Structure 1
Amino acid sequence: MLQAGKGSASDHYNAACSWALAGNKNKAFAHLEQAIAKGYLAVAHWQKDTDLSSLHADKRWPKLVDDLKRSVAAIEAKYNQPLKAQLESIYEKDQQIRREFVAAREQHGMESAEVKELGQKMEQIDQENLKQIMPLIETYGWPGKSMVGMHASSAVFLVIQHAPKEVMEKYLPLLREAAAKGEASKNHLAMMEDRVRMNQGLPQLYGSQVQMDSDTKQWVLYKVEDEANLDKRRAEMGLGPIKDYLKSMGVEYTPPTGQPVK
């Protein structure tokens, strides 16, 4: 259970959504306040997210939205607005094609013509996004929270995460530096660290990567370095327990020998 003051802005926002869906408005509002305090300020997303619909009729909702808008206005006055708008457009392109891909896969199956066509389209969009992102990084460095806001900044992570391995390796040091300064998400760093290590054939550190077992054809956790301390490292990066993370993907976690199941 996420405790007050712990976790990232996204963790608190996701917790709020869970509590709202469970019907506990007090805990939902408490986590939303924590999300605002930690910089989760995507106003449009808050208002459109159906997970929070049950809160809209509560008298606390208008005040919360007003507080959110005031916080956004004060912070965004300092942003590079053209860059922010460009990155948000890239973010939406990256995510929209993936939403379409997942929906087609669930409806038609992985080997369907629809999925293959969308897979090709996704590769094309990824290449187009990368052609935009790389010159921006060369110009601004890693566009971080104070420059464009965390939401727009995450577009840089998404595009690089979906890029060829040599591109990830090139820009990983910049993401490390940005995360150390609080300008980028630590959990984004954890995912890219793991992806790069996996590409190099090394064990991952944070358990963010899975792979298909060639015999069982089931998804399993990719090998982990010092797996006994995996959850400790995950917590340091703002990530929840590995068991819960894998369960959300339908993967059952078997702890190392001698380690208790949490």
Structure 2
Amino acid sequence: MKYLVHISRLLVGVLFIISGLIKLNDPLGFSYKLQEYFSTEVLNMPFLEPYALAISVFVVVFEVVLGVFLLIGYKPKFTAWSLLLMIVFFTFLTFYSAYFDKVKDCGCFGDALKLTPWESFTKDIILLFFVLILFIGVKHIKPLFSKLPTTVFALLSFILCLWFGYHVLMHLPSKDFRAYKIGDNILENMKIPDDAPKAIQEFTWTFNVNGEEKEFVTNGSYPQVEGDYVGVKTKLIKEGYEPPILDFSIENENGDVTEEILQTENLIMIVSYNLDTAEKEGLAKIKAFSDEAIKKGYTVIGMTSSGDEAKQRIKNEYKLNFDFYLCDEKALKTVVRSNPGALEIDAGTVKQKKHWNDFEELILEELPNAKPNLDFDLKAELDEIYKLDQGVREIYFAQTKEDKDAIAESLNLPIQEEALGYMKIWNEVDSINLVKVEKIIKEHGYPGKSKVGEPTNETVWYVIQHSPKIAEYLPMIKEAAANGDLGKNLVAMMEDRYLMQTGKEQIYGTQGTTLGRDANNPINIIWPIKNSKDVNKLRVEVGFNETVESYGKRLYGDDFVFKNYTLKEVKLLDKDNTWIQGLLKDIN
């Protein structure tokens, strides 16, 4: 018995220390697992969820300390009783999760070693056997040292465990075992190899055959049975390959943009799984850190599971100059054990990862596209102008009154009873925006890419394009493009609009109109082009990536057929349009 106790003492002590240290390395991760156990779907003890972190720290520290106590022989009876109670508790949890299929991974070894519920239960049964040997043969557990050194050693182990737990909570786990660790490529960890083993499932189909229900088992194919289908049950026979990352996605109002974002080079991803529960001190540090990153040429995005209201509130409250994207909360908790936290990602590969306490330790190089003179206050002002400029147009094109009202409400514009009221607001917004933009131009000149970044550098262009002052500001727009502060394609669009508004042929084919709006058969056209033969070549030269024919279909639908009308033809086709007739009064 004595030797069996010694073997059990060594085995249980080492295993408890290793298991405890792995969890102590990531107490937040273990607390998330406890929250899963405490949830209404599992143990139905939601009142314990707010205390999950405290319970997590207590359990893992106690687990390590018990292992140390057992090895050095400190307070054998207390240690044996504690080990027995703890292993009984763990055995119950693993049996419950395995039998009822509630929790897929017990978290016994954190993210370092994934065990199925039944594997975890088997492990705990074996441990329980050895702990019972220790409990029965407790008299054979003798201290390795005299009383004072043993007591000091026990106390030191407790203090060191507390310090280590506090350290990783205030920073990040010392060893990252997750699929988002530094050096891993997130995109690669999401892929399933072509030759990966597939899951094997058994399908039990139930049919009513001649008034009697019969079952037919297949591997997935629909059985050829003369009868009425009743139902089907599936059973997993053998699990297939699962990639390290299963539930990570990046979404915005346009849908899933995961691949597009992760392929971005020099990306700073600021993660807050829940903005409402994020550390206020951490949120306050984001502003300076993210602004520095943007100035140095990095693309900065936020990631959260919070709703639009929380995103906008936090963005306004902390004056943040980046947008938040949507992601699953559980996935974000796995990405970084900090709320908020930050990662540097380059084409999907994690380069750096930091807790909010360590944001200043992130090394940010000055990239070739750095914008050291970025004016964030001016950028914020222009972003609001752009939001209104585009918003009033979204209201106009919205199909239902409910949609129009919803957009107006999101822009803090008054709800209108009639569509005509929104047209009035459109004109008012354009007039107010023009006044603001002219003031900005007077103070700053054209606020281009180097001063406000992209796409904010286009805001002034939009406002002028939608104003009656194109002729006045077109030279400035051309100069901004020549300096690299604005795209040449935008200059082309403004030049074409100016030519159309002065009754002349356009150059690049960017402007269209509808003739005979009040007639039964209105005609959608591209405004007459001066040199239609070479127009697509000219379009390429200024940065357009589609032909005038394709552009016309995008404007007016797939049935649109491009024809280059003359100014005279346009005048004749819409004799009742005073605007057209006024523009082309000199055309005969």
Which structure features the higher share of strand residues?
A: 2
Task: Give deviations 1:210-247, integer Å, cap 9, x for gaps.
Answer: 11122631321111110011111111111121122111
Contact between 1:42 and 1:151, CA under 8 Å: does it hold in 2?
no
Alpha-carbon shift at residue 123 of structure 1 (Å): 0.6
Alpha-carbon shift at residue 79 of structure 1 (Å): 0.7
Partner of 1:107: 400
Contact between 2:552 and 2:562, CA under 8 Å: does it hold in 1?
no
Between the aligned partners of 1:71 and 1:129, the Cα distance in structure 2 is 37
User: Would the alpha carbon gap of residues 43 and 116 (structure 1) be closer, same or farther in structure 2, given more than 3 Å must change?
Assistant: farther
Contact between 2:265 and 2:345, CA under 8 Å: does it hold in 1?
no
Between the aligned partners of 1:49 and 1:175, the Cα distance in structure 2 is 36
Contact between 2:508 and 2:535, CA under 8 Å: does it hold in 1?
yes
Partner of 1:242: 548
User: Would the alpha carbon gap of residues 222 and 79 (structure 1) be closer, same or farther in structure 2, given more than 3 Å must change?
Assistant: same
One-letter identity of the residue aligned with 2:434: L
Secondary structure of 2:506's aligned partner: coil
Unmatched runs of 5 consecutive residues or more in structure 2: 1-250, 267-296, 303-321, 336-342, 352-363, 402-415, 566-588
Between the aligned partners of 1:71 and 1:49, the Cα distance in structure 2 is 28
Q: Quick check: 1:254 aligned with 2:547?
A: no
C-alpha RMSD of the superposition: 4.0
Between the aligned partners of 1:162 and 1:180, the Cα distance in structure 2 is 22
One-letter identity of the residue aligned with 1:128: I
Task: Give deviations 1:137-179, integer Å, cap 9, x for gaps.
Answer: 1222211110111222211011101111xx1110000000111
* Aligned with 1:176 (options 468, 471, 478): 478
Q: Quick check: 1:222 aligned with 2:530?
A: no
Runs of 4+ aligned structure 1 residues displaced above 2 Å come to: 20-25, 28-34, 39-50, 61-67, 70-78, 112-115, 253-257
Partner of 1:196: 498
Between the aligned partners of 1:98 and 1:41, the Cα distance in structure 2 is 28
One-letter identity of the residue aligned with 1:245: Y
Unmatched runs of 5 consecutive residues or more in structure 1: 1-16, 51-55, 258-262
Partner of 1:13: none
Q: Quick check: 1:98 aligned with 2:393?
A: yes
TM-score normalised by L of structure 2: 0.33
Alpha-carbon shift at residue 31 of structure 1 (Å): 7.6
Between the aligned partners of 1:160 and 1:196, the Cα distance in structure 2 is 11
One-letter identity of the residue aligned with 2:457: S
Between the aligned partners of 2:325 and 2:256, the Cα distance in structure 1 is 18
User: Would the alpha carbon gap of residues 174 and 247 (structure 1) be closer, same or farther in structure 2, given more than 3 Å must change?
Assistant: same
Q: Which has the larger radius of gyration?
A: 2
Contact between 1:79 and 1:149, CA under 8 Å: does it hold in 2?
yes
Partner of 2:461: 157
Structure of greater relative contact order (alpha carbons < 8 Å, 6+ residues apart): 1
Which structure features the higher share of helix residues?
A: 1
Alpha-carbon shift at residue 184 of structure 1 (Å): 0.8
Alpha-carbon shift at residue 78 of structure 1 (Å): 2.2
Secondary structure of 2:513's aligned partner: strand
TM-score normalised by L of structure 1: 0.69
Between the aligned partners of 2:541 and 2:376, the Cα distance in structure 1 is 32
Between the aligned partners of 1:198 and 1:218, the Cα distance in structure 2 is 17
Contact between 2:508 and 2:539, CA under 8 Å: does it hold in 1?
yes
One-letter identity of the residue aligned with 2:373: K
Alpha-carbon shift at residue 256 of structure 1 (Å): 5.7
Task: Give deviations 1:35-54, integer Å, cap 9, x for gaps.
Answer: xxxx895746875499xxxx
Between the aligned partners of 2:506 and 2:326, the Cα distance in structure 1 is 33
Secondary structure of 1:63's aligned partner: strand
User: Would the alpha carbon gap of residues 247 and 78 (structure 1) be closer, same or farther in structure 2, given more than 3 Å must change?
Assistant: same
Partner of 1:213: 515
